[in-house]
Amino acid sequence: MNLHLIDDEKFFDPFVEKLEALDLLDNNIFIVKECGPLKFIKRTDLIHGRMCDKNLIGDTRKYGKVFIHCFTAEMYDWVLEHSFKELNWMIWGKELYSSDLVDYPLYEPLTKDIVRTANGQRFSLNLGYWRPKNVLRRANLPRIFSKFDNILTWIEPEYEYAIRNIKGLRAKHQQFAYMFETDANILRARFRNVRPYRKNISELRCILGNSGVASNNHLDAIQKTMNLPLKEILIPVSYGNEKYMAALKGEIQKRQNKGNIKYLDSYLSFAEYIEVFDQYDVFISNSIRPVGMGNIWMALLMGKLVFMNRRNLVFPYLRSMGIEIFDIGMIEKAESIFRTIDLKKNADLAAEFLSSRRINKMYLQLFSKEVAIQHETV
């Protein structure tokens, strides 16, 4: 039996429904870390209970595998106090890049100034963790992280970064991704016949970032493209940090007066978002940490040109797969790129990476009863 410790997040429903489709539910139980009312999880019929029920989990050594979805500081003491046959960390990103475990450069200079203005302090998930009363707990970090057997992430460079920078972490890497399979199939069916096309740079309409979250480095991206006659830049801000978004809009208004920057303020369904996305030619991701990957896959599947920040761990990884993406500094050469890029090849490679065949194999290897039994007999 596998134990999953999860957050109340929208990722849960498609994840468990995939397990359900593969007939794997009987071998996996799910316990929510939070104790308040559930806001995002709809499949409450599959929730076994809450972590605040101290007797619910019992002896952690009775589980073939324990999976912690997003390992934040609130879970550190729990891991330290328990023993496991196999402990797995599913990296979400925020608990790594935005934490005090590592010194990851989230913000470029202009965005860093906005963050300081909007918040008056550095972003961090774990500031309280480093106060004097927690010095003993900090000393235990290597012991805590040494308990992990596997790190689960689809981005191998993300695993390598964690291993290099977190003391005590010696876990192996396992491929894992939350579900984008259904959305990918919808996009693949509609945009299967991706065709090459040419546009002048003055005709290009671009989408910048995935949300009103500061790690998108919006203002720095606009600065990098300021001298280009782009027809439009659309910034999705239907969710994010309200103070940051207000400060961002104020800075853009002061610095940029070409009138080609627009905002997508309203929340859209996936079908509605496809219709909006399809009106644009280019997707720009200026984040340094992996964020908004669903939008990057979406752009590739739809045959859009993708520009990224080359400092992002995902940038060299996607290029190593043969996918043609480009550093944001090359957007001025978009016209010549359009003449040579194979957008259909990009779409085919993305579709293969997100294919049901590949996802099914991954899930069966990680969560099936047969694998768990093999593990217990070793």
Rounded to 5 degrees, φ, ψ at 36 are -85, -175
* DSSP single-letter state for residue 171: P
Q: What is the pLDDT along the chain (378 residues), one digit of tens a residue?
A: 999 999 999 889 999 999 999 999 999 999 999 998 999 999 999 999 999 988 899 999 999 999 999 999 999 999 999 999 999 999 998 899 888 888 898 999 999 999 988 876 444 444 444 444 466 567 789 999 999 999 999 989 999 999 999 999 999 999 998 877 788 889 999 998 888 788 899 999 999 999 999 999 999 999 999 999 999 999 999 999 999 999 999 999 998 778 899 999 998 999 999 999 999 999 999 999 998 889 999 999 999 999 999 999 999 999 999 999 999 999 999 999 999 999 999 999 999 999 999 999 999 999 987 654 444 444
Q: What is the dihedral of CA 298, 102, 71, 86, to 10 degrees?
A: 100
User: Helices (DSSP H) in 31-174: which residue ranges?
Assistant: 76-81, 94-97, 109-119, 135-139, 141-145, 156-165
Phi-psi region of 292 (alpha: psi -120 to 50; beta: other; left: phi over 0): left
Structural contact between residues 194 and 347, judged by C-beta atoms closer than 8 angstroms: yes
Rounded to 5 degrees, φ, ψ at 172 are -90, 170
pTM of the predicted structure, to 2 decimals: 0.87
| CA 344 – CA 348 distance, rounded (Å) | 6
- What is the pLDDT at residue 194? 84
Structural domains of the chain sorted by starting position, each given as residue range(s) with its CATH number in brackets: 2-178+356-377 (3.40.50), 181-353 (3.40.50.2000)
Which of 47, 2, 72, 87 lies closest to 363, judged by CA? 2
Token output for 131 = 């106060």
Structural contact between residues 266 and 238, judged by C-beta atoms closer than 8 angstroms: yes
Token output for 146 = 């040494």
- What is the pLDDT at residue 134? 61
Token output for 289 = 């940490």
- What is the pLDDT at residue 369? 76
CA distances from 356 to 14, 28, 156, 182 (A): 13, 20, 20, 9
- What is the pLDDT at residue 195? 81
Per the listing, tokens 């610095």 go with 255
Per the listing, tokens 């300021």 go with 226
Rounded to 5 degrees, φ, ψ at 169 are -80, 115
How buried is 217 (Cβ within 10 angstroms: 0-12 exposed, 13-18 middle, 19+ buried)?
buried
Amino acid at 321: M
